[in-house]
Structure 1
Amino acid sequence: MTTFLQLHLLTAYPPSNPNRDDQGRPKQATVGGAPRLRLSSQSIKRALRVSEPFRQGLAGHMGQRTKLMAKVLLDRLLAGGMDAAQARTKAEEIAKVFGKIEPQDKKRPEAVQGTTLAFISPDERAFALDLADKALAGEALPTDKELARTVLRTADGAVDIAMFGRMLADNPDFNRDAAVQISHAITTHRAQAEDDYFTAVDDLQRREDTGGAHLGEHGFGSGVYYLYACVNCDLLVENLGGDKELAARGLRSLVRAIATATPSGKQNSHAHHPRAGYVRAEIGGAAPRDLTGAFFTPVRGDDLFDASARALERTAADIDRAYGPAADAVETMDVPKGQGTLAAIEDFAASALERQNA
């Protein structure tokens, strides 16, 4: 039976614009016929990956998303003294295991990069650089199929790749299924973007020169956001080659990051650094279920945060009564009520690995 760790979080954001749409305004969604503010799952996963809990807790076990691996290899070959044209050919030949290479740009002939972002583990980067060193030594590169098997891995120590998965269109045998699913975060109540018109004054203008030197505008919004995450603990361990200790570090880092990290759009303008005020963690073997339904009808009242927390708990109880328990164990942190700690949630999350096949 698969063990799932499910996380439900409520976080109050001040006026801010952490995740913008193509117009530069806060992203939005309509839920239950009501307008809501939204944070995309992509922006949240990015915030998790670059957060201090991930960078410090998982140092040496983080992948890189980049189009520029061919440039890294080219620089290595050029530094080793290889002819520029040959170096480019070799760099592209190795880097293509991560995806197709852009045609050479006549305006920027020195530029070399892939067509898509590739998620590359530390081991794969090291294997690719090792092939570059062997090319410098005069060794022939492996054939295409052997090249992929030489560089790519289906399991290694890159925790973020193990969690969030990857797709390599040209080498699908080395794709990774994501062990962690992250929802789009939505406000639990009605919320719409507002507009801020602002001016800037020229420091050197004369006193008699009135008016601003610059006029601009940007959107912002605020609200209580609900975020859901689901971890397939068995798949996480499998993706890490059976390393349960590293998987536990990953779960601890995930919990701390998801409660404290945020997309950083317009952060200098708004200084938004919110922390989750409510966290519900669940461990069990039943099919996962999110609790977004608690907010399909927007919450109302003078205390939107408390109303959101109580709606979430009621919905969890209602679903459990109708379908049976969704979890074998539950741990909560409710900051306004002075209940629980994030450290306890971390310990609880890590214990999910001890419950596997128990």
Structure 2
Amino acid sequence: MSRFIQLHLLTFYPPSNVNRDDMGKPKTATVGGVTRLRISSQALKRAWRTSEIFDHALAGHMGQRTQRLGEEVLAHLHAKGTKEKDAIKIAREIAGVYGKVKPEKDGNPTRTEQLVFISPTEREMALAMADRMAAGEKVDPKKEQDTLLHRADTAADIALFGRMLASAPAFNREAAVQVAHAMTTHRVTVEDDYYTAIDDLNKGEEDAGAGFLGEAGFGSGVFYLYLCINRDLLLSNLGGEGETGVAEAALGALVEAAMTVSPSGKQNSYAALARAGYVLAEKGNAQPRTLAGAFARPVGGEDLMASSITALKDFRAELARVYGPGVDETCEMALGDAKSATLADLVTFCRA
């Protein structure tokens, strides 16, 4: 079985702003001396992980990224009739295993300062330990880290995207999936959208102007996205050979989400619900490599998708000439080519 799966996607986004910066403008990067639109890997992974695709395919095998585990413990103890003072103390001690807890005088004294990925198993263990402590058992949560934290479990999103626990680095999880920032294959100009909102009850008797004026940036283009999946690490993160079914479900969900799910930014304003126009999936054991170099020089022409596909294929062929093929199997999908693979074919290819 091949160790690495690599995905190369080209997706056209119409005028939109799916991932904006601190000024509200679309994120950009300067590549090849020109401005490109960019979608951060964080935005992409968040969209995939919270999608219905992941929810349905990985039900019961999804973690939660939260500061509020202590609040769940507190609510659990309240339901059991534990005294408020004791419940807060227990919740703070358990939450402290996962991160630094906010000060006792804070309005939310059981929350952690950091967001932490928690698996379903870890959540269950936290509630079980809270019950033990509430019953009067002498328990030091920090001395029982192995009970509350796990180096391997069936939380598929943690296995895929990893986690960092500053308070317990031994339980960090290295991501099995590397996701690049998506960037346009060509030069772009970020445009300004000047818009107004009209007061429906303004009859023009005092003034005929708008009730609100605003400005937002947008852009459009063909984005190249690269993912590299370490299948061995994914299976190890999940707990080994006994979790092959979860690993396959996670791979299928990831492929489908990468091809069909867009970040949620400004979607109500632009409806940029895009689908990949071209996908190349590769499997092999050799050192992975991105094909982003195909776009170091921006492509041009009237058909940016076709130009991007040609540039990617030419660059890949040149890499293979110089360094060898690098992969053992491929599966390719291109809209407009009736003989190419489908979404279902790509999912099957990557799961196998």
Normalised by the length of structure 2, the TM-score is 0.96
TM-aligned CA deviation for residue 135 of structure 1: 2.0
1:161 paired to 2:158:
yes
Q: 1:132 aligns with which of 125, 130, 133?
A: 130
Q: Is the 8 A contact 1:28 1:192 kept in 2?
A: no
Q: Is the 8 A contact 2:162 2:173 kept in 1?
A: yes
* Distance in 2 between residues matched to 1:105 and 1:231, nearest whole Å: 44
TM-aligned CA deviation for residue 166 of structure 1: 0.6
Partner of 1:354: none
* Distance in 1 between residues matched to 2:336 and 2:50, nearest whole Å: 28
SS at match of 1:98: coil
Q: Is the 8 A contact 2:97 2:141 kept in 1?
A: no
* Distance in 2 between residues matched to 1:105 and 1:45, nearest whole Å: 35
143 and 245 in structure 1: CA distance in 2 versus 1, 3 angstrom threshold:
closer
105 and 187 in structure 1: CA distance in 2 versus 1, 3 angstrom threshold:
farther
Identity %: 53
SS at match of 1:150: helix
* Distance in 2 between residues matched to 1:192 and 1:63, nearest whole Å: 39
Q: 2:191 aligns with which of 186, 191, 194?
A: 194
* Distance in 2 between residues matched to 1:289 and 1:92, nearest whole Å: 45
Q: Is the 8 A contact 1:5 1:230 kept in 2?
A: yes
Partner of 2:96: 96
SS at match of 1:273: coil
Equivalent residue runs for 1:100-179 within 5 Å:
100-106=100-106, 108=107, 111-142=109-140, 144-146=142-144, 148-179=145-176
* Distance in 1 between residues matched to 2:77 and 2:294, nearest whole Å: 57
Spell out, residue by residue over 1:7-44, the C-alpha distance to the aligned partner (whole angstroms, 9 max, x if none). Answer: 00000001111111010110000011110000001111
Q: Is the 8 A contact 2:101 2:109 kept in 1?
A: no
TM-aligned CA deviation for residue 111 of structure 1: 4.5
Q: Say which is worse superposed, 127-136 or 156-165, in terms of deviation.
A: 127-136
Q: Is the 8 A contact 1:281 1:345 kept in 2?
A: yes
Question: Which runs of 5 or more structure 1 residues have no equivalent in the other structure?
Answer: 352-358
Partner of 1:83: 83
Partner of 1:285: 285
Q: Say which is worse superposed, 81-90 or 195-204, in terms of deviation.
A: 81-90
Partner of 2:349: 348
SS at match of 1:65: strand
Partner of 1:315: 315
Q: Say which is worse superposed, 73-82 or 246-255, in terms of deviation.
A: 73-82
Aligned length: 348
Question: Which runs of 5 or more structure 2 residues have no equivalent in the other structure?
Answer: none
* Distance in 2 between residues matched to 1:198 and 1:105, nearest whole Å: 44
Partner of 2:231: 233
Q: Is the 8 A contact 1:2 1:232 kept in 2?
A: no
Q: Is the 8 A contact 1:52 1:257 kept in 2?
A: no
Partner of 1:222: 220
TM-aligned CA deviation for residue 207 of structure 1: 4.8
Equivalent residue runs for 1:35-50 within 5 Å:
35-50=35-50
Spell out, residue by residue over 1:326-357, the C-alpha distance to the aligned partner (whole angstroms, 9 max, x if none). Answer: 21000000013332201000000011xxxxxx
Q: Say which is worse superposed, 129-138 or 23-32, in terms of deviation.
A: 129-138
Q: Say which is worse superposed, 201-210 or 332-341, in terms of deviation.
A: 201-210
SS at match of 2:276: coil
TM-aligned CA deviation for residue 2 of structure 1: 6.7
Spell out, residue by residue over 1:245-272, the C-alpha distance to the aligned partner (whole angstroms, 9 max, x if none). Answer: 1111111000000001111011111111
Q: CA RMSD in A?
A: 1.3
SS at match of 2:215: strand
Spell out, residue by residue over 1:289-333, the C-alpha distance to the aligned partner (whole angstroms, 9 max, x if none). Answer: 000000000000000011001111111111011101121000000
Q: Is the 8 A contact 1:41 1:185 kept in 2?
A: yes
Spell out, residue by residue over 1:272-300, the C-alpha distance to the aligned partner (whole angstroms, 9 max, x if none). Answer: 10000100000000100000000000000
Q: Is the 8 A contact 2:103 2:109 kept in 1?
A: no
Spell out, residue by residue over 1:47-98, the C-alpha distance to the aligned partner (whole angstroms, 9 max, x if none). Answer: 1101121111111100000011111111111222222122111101111111
* Distance in 2 between residues matched to 1:305 and 1:200, nearest whole Å: 36
TM-aligned CA deviation for residue 211 of structure 1: 2.2
* Distance in 2 between residues matched to 1:3 and 1:32, nearest whole Å: 32
Partner of 2:201: 204
TM-aligned CA deviation for residue 192 of structure 1: 2.6
Q: Is the 8 A contact 1:201 1:213 kept in 2?
A: yes
Normalised by the length of structure 1, the TM-score is 0.94
* Distance in 2 between residues matched to 1:302 and 1:145, nearest whole Å: 64
104 and 228 in structure 1: CA distance in 2 versus 1, 3 angstrom threshold:
same
**Structure 1 runs of 4+ with >3 Å offset:** none
Partner of 1:330: 330
Matched to 1:279, the amino acid is V
Matched to 2:43, the amino acid is S
Q: Is the 8 A contact 1:5 1:231 kept in 2?
A: yes
Matched to 1:90, the amino acid is I
Matched to 1:342, the amino acid is L
Q: Is the 8 A contact 1:331 1:345 kept in 2?
A: yes
